[in-house]
Amino acid sequence: MINELDFTHDPARKSWVVSANEATTDFPIQNLPFCMFSRAGDAPRPGVAIGAEILDLGAAARLGLFDAEAAAAIDCCNEGLNPILALAGPSATSLRHRLSELLGADRAPGGTERLLIAQHDVRFHLPAQIGGFTDFFTSLYHTERGGRVTRPDNPVPANFRSMPIAYNSRASSVRISGEDIRRPLGQRRRPDGEVHFGPCESLDFELELGALIGKGNDLGEPVRIAEAGERLFGYCLVNDWSARDIQRWESFPLGPFLAKTLSTSVSPFVVTADALKPFRVAAAERPPGDPKLLPYLHDEADQQSGGISLMMEAYLLTDSMRADGAAPYRITRANFRDMYWTFAQMVAHHTSNGCNLRVGDLIGSGTVSGPTDDSRACLAEIVGSGDSISLPNGERRTWLQDGDTVVFRARAERYGYVPIGFGECSGRIIPAISY
């Protein structure tokens, strides 16, 4: 994994876009995440977030501001960023360099300011055409807490420490941040043993980080761990909405199905692997006694810099809080650096049997939980520990109620570098349909 920094990471670098230089922005010139957006009456098109603005990439390309390869990719982004994701490697880095040059304070705008659109004036769309969605299960702390409830004699399955565990989720129900989440219907087995069909009574969120594949692989050709990280173009926030009561009843013997396919929310901005280079850290240390990594999952460079220091937060806003003008209340704060497996290991394992990944495929990290109580990254962990959420207005929550809005935020910070953020990933629960 190559982790060299360049001029785009320079903490002294500023933009002529004034809002990009504010200390609180998620999108300084050191970030430059991609997105798909539209204005009223227009078709979706690709853009780059800079401060409180969006740079219209299509308009910039038509003015001849990019090289032929980048311009061709931008021109093909009619339904998603896939052509840009496919640039990967040096071509993606070259595009980042050009964007930083165009937006840098050391260069006069030269009319480029006319290509900016305020973020509050646009509608965001799914960042990519997602053909496949695989959700992993890579937090030891999440596994331990959940296992104490469902498998008290063996809370952490032996295979968890040997390989990154995952299941194939549903790409068709991945939705952009801000869309409502319909409370699902399903079968539930009640304590008296009777099985009922009706609205989910234990609706949950899961705070996750998602990775989007930039360069795929051919069927039958595994991706070696040393190059697996280079297949990842960038990252977004993911909320893997989960119906826990439905999940408990349906999961044996094949695992979750309807409990996990009701909807998955993703944030609109794709923060590139290049942008996150200053925030790379060593992979999480494996506890004493854990099995040695099998060779196909071990790469020294990945062990040294396969982790990401990314603080991730979940907030809750109820209807009552909204009516009172209250702000969302933080209920979870966890760091992605605590994850047991790296994204490179996930890709290497996913493809080890020859499974082919394609441009735009979404890889979910699984719930990003940490060792402390305030880093429990889903309600199942909180409820399973015998706790509930106490909100500032006196309301309490064990599970999500209709009208509740869950908001995710994330920010990468490191001393000596400019922090970068991911924007928000949000969804509001609406009532189940009559059935």
Q: What is the pLDDT of residues 386-409, one digit of tens each?
A: 899 999 999 999 999 999 999 999
Looking up tokens 């809005």, which residue turns up?
405
The DSSP H or E segment spanning 38 is strand 34-38
What pLDDT sits at residue 202?
Answer: 97
Whichever domain contains 252, its CATH number is: 3.90.850.10
Are 310 and 259 contained in the same domain? yes
Binding residues for Ca(2+): 135, 206, 208, 240
Distance CA 51, CA 374 (A): 30
Q: 260 near 247, Cβ under 8 Å?
A: yes
Residue type, 189: R
Residue 334 located in a structural domain: yes
Domain boundary among 69, 93, 125: 125
Domain boundary among 91, 125, 159: 125
Whether pLDDT at 415 is above 90? yes
Are 166 and 46 contained in the same domain? no
Distance CA 71, CA 66 (A): 6
Q: What residues are paired with 429 via a beta bridge? A: 181
pLDDT tens digits, residue range 61-118?
999 999 999 999 999 999 999 999 999 889 999 999 999 999 999 988 888 889 999 9
Q: Tell me the catalytic residues.
A: 142
Residue 64 located in a structural domain: yes
Residue 1 located in a structural domain: no
DSSP 104: B
Q: 259 near 243, Cβ under 8 Å?
A: yes
Residue 289 located in a structural domain: yes
Binding residues for Mg(2+): 240, 260, 264
Are 48 and 170 contained in the same domain? no
Higher pLDDT, 6 or 255: 6
Mean pLDDT of all residues in 271-289: 97
What pLDDT sits at residue 142?
Answer: 95
What pLDDT sits at residue 88?
Answer: 80
Q: 344 near 307, Cβ under 8 Å?
A: no
Whichever domain contains 11, its CATH number is: 2.30.30.230
Residue 435 located in a structural domain: no
Are 116 and 235 contained in the same domain? no
Are 278 and 302 contained in the same domain? yes
Domain boundary among 104, 125, 146: 125
Binding residues: 135, 137, 151, 206, 208, 240, 247, 260, 264, 367
Are 200 and 80 contained in the same domain? no
Mean pLDDT of all residues in 47-58: 98
Are 31 and 140 contained in the same domain? no
Task: List the domain range (segments joined by +) for residue 97.
Answer: 7-125
Looking up tokens 């331990």, which residue turns up?
144
* pTM for the full predicted model: 0.96
What pLDDT sits at residue 2?
Answer: 56
Mean pLDDT of all residues in 160-170: 96
Binding residues for substrate: 137, 151, 247, 367
Helix (H/G/I), strand (E/B), else coil: 196 = strand
Are 159 and 79 contained in the same domain? no
Are 264 and 281 contained in the same domain? yes
Whether pLDDT at 375 is above 70? yes
Q: And the tokens for 20? A: 């990009």
Residue 2 located in a structural domain: no
pLDDT tens digits, residue range 321-373?
999 999 999 999 999 999 999 999 999 999 999 999 999 999 999 999 999 99
- Counted domains in the chain: 2
Residue 412 located in a structural domain: yes
Whether pLDDT at 1 is above 90? no
Residue type, 424: E
User: Residue 214: which residues within 8 A CB-CB, separation 6 or more?
Assistant: 85, 86, 87, 88, 89, 92, 231, 232, 233, 234, 359
Calculate the alpha carbon distances from 252 to 176, 193, 206, 224, 246 in Å. 30, 16, 21, 33, 11
